[in-house]
Amino acid sequence: MKELLKPKVLKPGDTIALISLSGGRGGDADLLTRFNEGKRRLESLFGVKVITTPNALKGSDYLYQHPEARGADLMWALNNKDVNGIICIMGGDDSYRVFPFIDAEVIHNNPKVFMGYSDIASWNTLFAVAGVMSFYGPNLLTPIAQPVKLDDYTMQAINKSLFSKEMIGEIKPCDSYTNIEWRDVSENDIVWTKNTGYKLLQGKGKVKGRLFGGCGAPLRQIMGTKYFPKPEFFNDCILFLEIGSPYGSSLAGLHELRAFDAAGLFKHANGLIVHQLNEEEEKILLKFLKYEANREDIIVLENVDFSHRTPMTIMPVGAMAEIDCEKISFTVIESAVC
């Protein structure tokens, strides 16, 4: 993967635009309270000014019916000189419908912090194709506006990735995790599970590469289109993939792996990072790598905190990273902003 343009570092006083590029639930009546809490947290915790793009809160029905409005919002935010960064309100499942309304040159000519996860993986890919680094990380509604408070692990990831020009450094596993919570619950209702840390599924030594990946389902939707990178794009990269998740089956995960392989992701990649897998998923992945992708050599690090659970770290798409098999560690060895 070639080096991508870095956006400018965020700082207190900057303006963040909240946008609905996928699902539009943030503007629905039952989630407006949560939206407002997330907006308040961004302002109070990071000292930024928070605005919404013109169509962001028009509701899920309107935004589903008007993908062109979603596209216009991104062009507005990128062209607006007063906007320093863009954070997605939530994921969804149909971002690809917006792409015909996007001018990739606007993305390239206005590199700004852009962050989101789940269906936003397709947008991270579009930014990469346009030559700009972006951030696979927290959406507003979850985990920024999660019940009770924003956890320290996620907040630290935001500060290190978006608000600092220093090297991001080692990404350590979280101490404990919980499921994404959409209900309005109290602290006593949240069940935390002690984390077992990273697990090395296969490989040895150290490997470096630029990060690329995200949630498998949205990536599959744009494969074979002009919005998805050519096979040579993945040379020497470190893939991070949430396969068959969050609601798919083990078989769906295998189908995604095969699709990724057909698109050239595995052929020349240097490493693979995955979310927490169950025993069956581990067996399917290792079998696939050995007999189908012919990559029994590739380093695979499991249980990294970038998937559909809380807390989560940030994966800067295009940043240089390192996996160390001896230490069982994962490090982003550069800054993601300039």
Last residue of a domain, one of 150, 167, 184: 167
Same domain, 37 and 131: yes
Residue 66's pLDDT band (cuts 50, 70, 90): very high
pLDDT tens digits, one per residue of 148-170: 999 999 999 999 999 999 999 99
Radius of gyration of the chain (CA): 19
Same domain, 141 and 280: no
Name the residue type at position 111.
P
Residue 337 in any domain: the answer is: no
For position 243, what pLDDT does the model report? 87
Same domain, 180 and 328: yes
Backbone φ, ψ for residue 109 (5° rounding) = -85, -10
Give the mean pLDDT of 254-262: 93
Statement: residue 286 has pLDDT above 90: yes
Last residue of a domain, one of 113, 135, 167: 167
Residue 244's pLDDT band (cuts 50, 70, 90): confident
For position 258, what pLDDT does the model report? 94
What percentage of the chain reaches a pLDDT higher than 70? Answer: 98
Same domain, 119 and 244: no
Statement: residue 145 has pLDDT above 90: yes
Task: Name the pTM for this structure.
Answer: 0.97
Contacts of residue 103, Cβ cutoff 8 Å, sequence gap at least 6? 75
Same domain, 189 and 310: yes
* Residue range of the domain that includes 289: 176-332
Statement: residue 250 has pLDDT above 80: no
Same domain, 143 and 185: no
User: What average pLDDT does the chain have?
Assistant: 96
Same domain, 125 and 249: no
Last residue of a domain, one of 167, 189, 222: 167
Strand 134-136, strand 113-116: pairing: parallel
Query: Which CATH number do you get for residue 30?
Result: 3.40.50.10740
For position 246, what pLDDT does the model report? 55
Same domain, 51 and 141: yes
Name the residue type at position 110.
N
Residue 338 in any domain: the answer is: no
Structural domain count of the chain: 2
Cα-to-chain-centroid distance, residue 96: 16
- The owner of tokens 């269906």 is 119
For position 1, what pLDDT does the model report? 87
Residue 5 in any domain: the answer is: no
